[in-house]
Amino acid sequence: EVQLVESGGGLVQPGGSLRLSCVASKFSFSSYWMSWVRQAPGKGLEWVINIRQDGRETHCVDSVKGRFTISRDNADNSLYLQMTSLRVEDTALYYCVRDQNWYFDLWGRGTLVTVSS
């Protein structure tokens, strides 16, 4: 089955760090841009960051600049999100998403990040 499976979420204190992972199955992962999208509890969707197929170009929303880093390992069909200096407002369900530039057509089920003391 074509799918994305996220992992790595959990409870972290403000100012802490966390690394999310996403494993892609049954499609040519290295051929696609990939994004992370988050959704705070009971709130709407927010695009966070994306990465080009070769990993050499990334873009992100202003609120995570300098704190979040996206990377990928095409040999392992894996996408990563390194999050540092976490804030309470980063609390959300984080989705790994296949980014076709014109649309997001494949979503994982998400991994929950809770930032709280």
Q: What is the residue whose two structure tokens read 């600049």?
A: 65
Among 86, 95, 113, 115, binds another protein (CB under 8 A): 95
Least separation in angstroms between CB 101 and another protein: 6
27 in contact with another protein (CB under 8 A): no
Q: What are φ and ψ of residue 24, in 5° steps?
A: -100, 145
105 in contact with another protein (CB under 8 A): yes
Closest CA relative to residue 91, chosen from 48, 46, 39? 39
56 in contact with another protein (CB under 8 A): no
Q: What is the residue whose two structure tokens read 């369900």?
A: 93
Strand duo 18-25 + 92-99: pairing: unpaired
Q: For the chain, how far is it from start to end, CA to CA, in angstroms?
A: 39
Among 61, 76, 89, 116, binds another protein (CB under 8 A): 61
Nearer to another protein (CB atom), residue 50 or residue 91: 50
Interface with another protein (CB under 8 A): 35, 44-47, 50, 59, 61-62, 95, 100-105, 107-110
